[in-house]
Structure 1
């Protein structure tokens, strides 16, 4: 594989409750190895139909605020046509339309170019799937 493109899969246990999981440290660790001080792009992709990737502040209540907002927009009730799994699971399949399953971020001199309070997060509202994969891919020169 060319050193211009490197990819790795993270295995994330999101548990049996709705969660926002901060992946920033995992992304930084991957870039220390893959980017090796170079400029490029980091793509973060969740290959699941019921999870997404958000760039947001964490730790100050914003992660809980996001989950609350998603409950308002996508209530976990019986209104959904998609009905397998736990009650209201159909909303989990709508989530990626609002919180996309990917993000592409600039990397400068091997480091993520995030704003002061920004973190890379997995957003998982699906209580039926506690194990997630997240693909990190670096394309650089």
Structure 2
């Protein structure tokens, strides 16, 4: 298995597009599976359309589903930080993408994104792993 870690700063954005990095990681490889994993308890990875408003819609929807208030038992950090710890139950911490001839088999409008609503820790690691098939 080949693996690489990306360092991503989410201080200015809640959704970080990782598609170019995933494509570059897969390019020298043949057929297999690429796993994208975020080893954090407050972030996730998704495959969505970006640039047409869906990325903003996702953030808005998650913020409505996970309001930042005092309802959470997990109380350390900024107000409502408990919502950040619920996020990976809704947005998975990983996705696996089939790869053929070094190309991730994403649909025309699909992008791989890091989803991070956590305002307390904007420094994220994302592990890309490739298993030949």
Q: TM-score range by the shorter chain?
A: over 0.9
Partner of 1:23: 18
Alignment of 1:1-141 (within 5 A): 5-15=1-11, 19-33=14-28, 35=29, 38-141=30-133
- The Cα of 1:53 is off from its aligned counterpart by 0.3
TM-score, with structure 2 as normaliser: 0.97
- The Cα of 1:28 is off from its aligned counterpart by 0.7
Which segments of structure 1 move beyond 6 Å, counting only runs of 4 or more?
none
Task: Please state whether the residue corresponding to 1:55 is helix, strand or coil.
Answer: strand
RMSD value, Cα: 1.0
TM-score, with structure 1 as normaliser: 0.91
Task: Provide structure 2 residue ranges, at least 5 long, that are not aligned to the other structure.
Answer: none
